[in-house]
Amino acid sequence: MAATEPKRLSLNAFSMNCVSHINQGLWVREDTRNIEYRTLAPWMELAKILEAGCFDALFLADVVGLYDAYRGGPEVSIREGMQVPVNDPMLLIPAMATVTEHLGFAFTSSILQTHPFTFARQVSTLDHLTGGRVGWNIVTSYLPNAAASLGLKDLPGHDERYDMADEYLEVLYKLWEASWEEDAVLADKAHRIYADPDKVHRIDHVGRYYEVAGPHLCEPSPQRTPLLFQAGSSPRGREFAARHAECAFVLSSRRQLAAGKGPVADIRARAARYGRNPDDIRFYQGLSPVVGGTEAEAKAKAAEYLEQLSTEAALAHLCGSVGVDLGAIDPDRPLETFDGNGMTGVVKGLLDSAPPGTRTFRDLAKANMAGQFVVGTPEQLADTLAEFGSLGIDGFNLVYATTPGTFVDFIDGVVPVLQQRGLVRTDYEPVPLRERLFGTPRLPDRHPAGQTRIEAARRRAAGRAGQPIAQG
Lowest mean pLDDT among 90-99, 137-146, 345-354, 442-451: 345-354
pLDDT above 70 coverage of the chain, percent: 88
For residue range 187-233, what is the model confidence (pLDDT) as tens digits? Answer: 999 999 999 999 999 999 999 999 999 999 999 999 999 999 999 88
> What confidence score (pLDDT) does residue 365 get?
58
Q: Residue 367: pLDDT above 80?
A: no
In angstroms, the CA 453 to CA 443 distance is: 10
103, 47 contact by CB (below 8 A): yes
Range in 248-262, 320-334, 404-418 the model is least confident about: 320-334
pLDDT band of residue 370 (cuts 50, 70, 90) is very low
Fold of domain 10-315+372-464: TIM Barrel (3.20.20)
Helix axes 263-273, 235-244, angle to 10 degrees: 50
User: Which of 311, 309, 315, 314 shows the shortest CA–CA distance to 70?
Assistant: 315
Q: Convert 35-101 into a string of H (helix), E (strand) and C (coil).
A: HHCCCCHHHHHHHHHHHHCCCCEEEEECCCCCCCCHHHCCHHHHHHCECCCECCCHHHHHHHHHCCC
CA dihedral over 139, 141, 147, 152, signed as positive or negative: positive
User: Distance between CA 130 and CA 128 in Å, rounded?
Assistant: 6
Residue of 85, 82, 86, 87 lying closest to 71 (CA atoms): 82
> Which pLDDT tens digit goes with each residue over 384-427?
999 999 999 999 999 999 999 999 999 999 999 999 999 999 99
pLDDT band at residue 136 under the 50/70/90 scheme? very high
Give the count of beta carbons closer than 10 Å to the beta carbon of residue 332.
9
Domain positions in the chain are 10-315+372-464
Task: Determine how many CB atoms are found less than 10 A away from the CB of residue 301.
Answer: 18
| Cβ contact 177:456 at 8 Å | yes
Burial zone of 150 (CB within 10 Å; 0-12 exposed, 13-18 middle, 19+ buried) = middle
